[in-house]
Amino acid sequence: MTTADDFSSAFLSKPGQITSKLGSLVTLANVAKFPALNTFGVSMARVDYAEGGLNPPHIHPRGSELLYLEKGSLYVGFITTENKLFAKTIKQGELFLFPKGLVHFQLNVGEGPAVGIAALTSQNPGTSQVARGLFASMPAIESVVLSKAFQIGEGEVKHLRDVIAKS
């Protein structure tokens, strides 16, 4: 039997434990974790940032993101398909929009932790981290491809793979 509890959740209410070397943790409330979202075309996320923490460059292929900064100060930005950067520092209570499919990031530039709440325009927006996608894919992209694309040696490609796989 369906009850009101099927349409509510508290899992974004508490900070998560940040264990990533990047210093951030995303807790996603999408249709897979919160079935009530099915057919509504929305999802939400809580992003906890340690001091200096980074939500690294990533994309959401199926949704735009509206970030509300609940606590702290973040340097945020996105890059257009023409390689133009739109970036600024936002403070507690401010919003920033990341358009669908564009590379974007957030960096905690304040003192102490920060907390953001994101609304996404898809019940399953997807996330692809740029560095992880390129340097930690399975199977691995041929080293020569990354070496040529980034104009770095194959030793540097190996180093990046090792570092990113551990982050």
User: What DSSP element (H or E) covers 156?
Assistant: helix 154-165
Cα–Cα dist 55/115, whole Å = 11
* Helix or strand (DSSP H, E) at 162: helix 154-165
- Is residue 101 within 8 Å of residue 60, measured between CB atoms? yes
159 is in an annotated binding site: no
Question: Is residue 104 annotated as involved in ligand binding?
Answer: yes
pLDDT tens profile 118-148? 999 999 999 999 999 999 999 999 999 999 9
82 is in an annotated binding site: no
The reported pLDDT for the residue numbered 6 is 86
- The pLDDT confidence band at residue 167, using thresholds 50, 70 and 90, is confident
Question: Quick one: average pLDDT of 84-97?
Answer: 98
